[in-house]
Structure 1
Amino acid sequence: MAQASSNDKKIASETESEVEDSDFKPLTAQEAREWRSRHPALSVWRIVWGQAAVGAVVALLAWWLTGRLPVAWSAGYGALSVVVPAALFARGMARRRSTAGAAMVGLLGWELVKIALTVAMLAAAPRVVPGLSWLALLVGMVVTMKTYWIALLARPGVRRTD
């Protein structure tokens, strides 16, 4: 019995020291407003439109560099196979969920839809794009996908306080 009480005391003192060691303190309403003003939300639709613009530029560059229209169509279709599923995903995720579990199920469900649509578009590519260039399609896809990183790195309005 004495052994159990000393273990309980040891666990309680470890828990107390963990609480004391943590630097967590909840924000006040004013601090939360200031944090939100320094870290504005990034619009998903802005990313999707950015991807569409980058895809159009890649298709135009492919046409300019090669002088062949099928290469431009291939690069453009590669970009579309990223943009269309991303737009559908953004539309599906825009709906508010009542619980965190519902939000996770929605995220996973729409991500599966996005992947399936991308695979279906790639499978249809040889029938949809005459004179398909797989290399141009792949370049269009990869460059358009990398737009996510550019958008995250170049977010407007993010200011460091450190």
Structure 2
Amino acid sequence: MTDRRETRPSAWDDTQDEAAEEDIKALTREEVQALVSKHPPMSPWRVVAVQAAIGAVVVALTWLLTEGQGFVWSALYGAATVVFPSALMARGVGRQAPGMKAGAYVVSFMLWEFGKIALSVAMLALAPKLVPDLSWTALLVSLVLGLKASWLALLMQRWSR
């Protein structure tokens, strides 16, 4: 009977990592510029705009399909729960110094993301007090569709090339 452990590579086998490191090639400045021009970064404001547009569509559909104003206000508040925190984060991340070191940028990004999540949770907690005749269903549908807007923004950027 053979031992199976001997035939499979170990999870701690460093020879695989060394082979992978040899394949890594540093890019020249021209290669980096060509790569960036081929795949330009997406503005966070574009994502916020797509989130706001989707929120407006959901609110309009809610207004057309339902008779209660509570549904419309709930859908509007759900869209706002996505758009306002995203806009705050886009503004905060966009105002960072261009010469900022990578580590500081990552920490700053994470702090803005935490602030975005905290504001969203606070807005959801305040929803029952702020929205008359609150419909959690309408609010959550609007919120989830707004959160999925980043994928639509990425697709739109890809289609526009």
What's the TM-score bracket when you normalise by the shorter of the two chains? Answer: 0.7 to 0.9
Q: Mark the runs of 5 or more structure 1 residues left unpaired by the alignment.
A: 1-13
**Does the CA-based 8 Å contact 1:78-1:137 persist in structure 2?**
yes
Partner of 2:7: none
| Match of residue 111, structure 1, among 99, 110, 113 | 113
**Paired positions, count:** 144
Tell me the residue number matched to 1:63.
Answer: 63
1:38-49 alignment, distance < 5 Å = 38-49=38-49
**TM-score, with length taken from structure 1:** 0.79
CA shift in 2, pair 1:137/1:154, >3 Å: same
Match of 1:72 in 2: 72
**1:93 corresponding residue in structure 2:** 93
Amino acid at match of 1:63: W
Question: 1:1-162 to 2 correspondence within 5 Å?
Answer: 18=19, 22-94=22-94, 95-96=96-97, 98-156=100-158
- Checking the alignment, whether the CA contact within 8 Å between 1:55 and 1:144 is kept in structure 2 is yes
CA contact 1:38–1:158 (8 Å) conserved in 2:
no
Q: CA RMSD in A?
A: 2.3
Give the equivalent residue in structure 2 for 1:8: none
Seen in structure 2, the aligned counterparts of structure 1 residues 69 and 50 have a Cα distance that, compared at 3 Å, is same
Runs of 4+, deviation exceeding 6 Å: none
Is the Cα–Cα contact under 8 Å of residues 93 and 110 in structure 1 kept in the other structure? Answer: yes
Q: Distance in 2 between matches of 1:67 and 1:149?
A: 31
Change (3 A) 1:157 1:137: closer
CA distance in 2, matches of 1:69, 1:27: 57
Q: Secondary structure at the match of 1:155?
A: helix
Q: 1:137 to 1:157 in 2, by over 3 A?
A: closer
- Higher-Rg member (1/2): 1
